[in-house]
Structure 1
């Protein structure tokens, strides 16, 4: 055992106290020290889980072929092994100053955000039930569980800050589970890319207090893991299909994209007219409030930088979400 420091705490973090009678004051001091050690250990565990969520490399050496069994194993293990086991019920929501509380509660996003996560969880689990491969099914179930946990986090947030929500609707299981999974995955590719930049803008501008930003940060990073998992699944799945099924699958993907584009046009019109919008995500409704000091070009630049940062810690052999960033770079050429 390593040398014991004068305060009774070993240098390796193990406590050692002499077998002698301790005064009430000494007992209180010892209890305080033990509580401090426990708090330090808890913080270290949180930091380690957070680091593991953001940094992952498969131990198998060498290149992998996209669409191969090795590719499937890699992107499934990425999601499973980077899971952060935080519990929404024990999140210590920071006390907000009156002006910060007013900014948070005035955002017209909370009903939509809660419903979006609830709907995503049902869709992902429905698709997981159709998958036979046990490893992939476990990863999809983890994805669906994390979407459900996001809903709980948001519910706890609105409860903590006294935000009233509309009654939640039913979340029906999609008739075509694959369609529901594709719509959820590609929608998250759009929304997460925007959310990365908006979240950074909220941090930089002080719109959200730093304590609240740090509390909500794991949810944003989890969405990054989800879209990384999804785009690798999409590439693996397409290449695993027999050649005669690939055109039908490609057609379905394009139909999903048309659906998502039409949906977002409808969302934008609903926001402009003040109508209630029930199928949007954080970026669509929060952007105006969070980016008043940013030009459109600066916001796109911030989204690109944040997208790169959040993906940088994962195995470089995995595919990155690139469709939305490519479109953003194209649009960036024409906006200031």
Structure 2
């Protein structure tokens, strides 16, 4: 098998997976646990960041890429995600779930390495990184990471497609970075199914406490994304956590908010389409986005 064929095979496996066992799967069952854990484990793409080829960019493309205000927060987000997932995995005794969580943590760490190679290849200067200590509350950190990825990935799917369509990123760069974007689709699919499985297996009194914690996580994420909890880097520069939701203009498009949400919805569905239909899909962010789209003002037509 040639290198190109091996890459194409790994890419296909990462995007298309169904368990060989037929029949319905009850949410919360042992079969459900095996389904979403095996999905993550068996769709792993073994690409190595050290051998990824970062293409030489034309001056205008180089300027567009390096001027994006996302690189510090992107690297730090992946660093925090990796230690949070790893810490949560360490408290899990179920072998298959522990294996899948370890895979998730390893892939998050690999994303950070990929971003590190990207910024080094293009001479992007980063602020000094903070330490990434293990979180004191492993479940809270895991929930914050999972729901945050559900928000950010939904908008990132659309923005990445928009950058590709508009020519903001050259095709070679899109092809190099594409596996990282699809990995995030796998991660949020795994997380959504873990939440449903975990919820079903809690006694009613613990389920109430868990639901209250989920509400608190969403409140925290909303607080963060409206700018109240905006990080400050070593130079005193605000790091905006809202780029995933506000970055349409930054990638060279005047697409209306309605059209951008429509693209995000379409890309989200496309990226989830190749996985076993019995797996639950993340629904909260797409549903909220679709609802918001209904209330956004429609763009004015020419001559209006």
**TM-score after normalising by structure 1:** 0.85
1:257 and 2:225 are equivalent in the alignment: no
Gaps of 5+ in 2: 299-304
For residue 133 of structure 1, the aligned residue among 79, 94, 102 is 94
For residue 150 of structure 1, the aligned residue among 86, 97, 111 is 111
For residue 334 of structure 1, the aligned residue among 291, 295, 301 is 295
Q: Where has structure 1 moved over 6 Å in runs of 4 or more?
A: 267-271
For residue 162 of structure 1, the aligned residue among 123, 147, 150 is 123
Structure 2 partner of 1:296: 257
Displacement after TM superposition at 1:173 (Å)? 1.2
Gaps of 5+ in 1: 1-39
Shift in CA distance, 170/253, structure 1 to aligned 2, threshold 3 Å: same
1:305 and 2:266 are equivalent in the alignment: yes
CA distance in 2, matches of 1:147, 1:279: 21
CA distance in 1, matches of 2:227, 2:133: 21
CA distance in 2, matches of 1:262, 1:194: 18
**TM-score after normalising by structure 2:** 0.93
- Please report the RMSD computed on the Cα atoms of aligned residues, expressed in angstroms: 1.8
1:171 and 2:132 are equivalent in the alignment: yes
Q: Secondary structure at the match of 2:139?
A: helix
Shift in CA distance, 267/214, structure 1 to aligned 2, threshold 3 Å: farther
Shift in CA distance, 197/291, structure 1 to aligned 2, threshold 3 Å: farther
Q: Is the contact between residue 267 and residue 280 of structure 1 (CA under 8 Å) also seen in structure 2?
A: no
Shift in CA distance, 176/278, structure 1 to aligned 2, threshold 3 Å: farther
CA distance in 2, matches of 1:231, 1:216: 24
1:79 and 2:40 are equivalent in the alignment: yes
**Count of aligned positions:** 295
Q: Is the contact between residue 146 and residue 188 of structure 2 (CA under 8 Å) also seen in structure 1?
A: yes
Q: Is the contact between residue 49 and residue 84 of structure 1 (CA under 8 Å) also seen in structure 2?
A: yes
Structure 1 partner of 2:78: 117
Shift in CA distance, 213/111, structure 1 to aligned 2, threshold 3 Å: same
Paired residues for 1:271-286 under 5 Å: 276-278=237-239, 280=241, 283-284=244-245, 286=247
Q: Deviations over 1:213-241 (max 9, x none)?
A: 11100000000000000000000000011
CA distance in 2, matches of 1:275, 1:334: 36
Q: Deviations over 1:199-221 (max 9, x none)?
A: 00000001111110111000000
1:213 and 2:213 are equivalent in the alignment: no
CA distance in 1, matches of 2:28, 2:218: 22
Q: Is the contact between residue 76 and residue 229 of structure 1 (CA under 8 Å) also seen in structure 2?
A: yes
Larger Rg: 1 or 2?
1
CA distance in 1, matches of 2:259, 2:251: 13
CA distance in 1, matches of 2:88, 2:211: 18
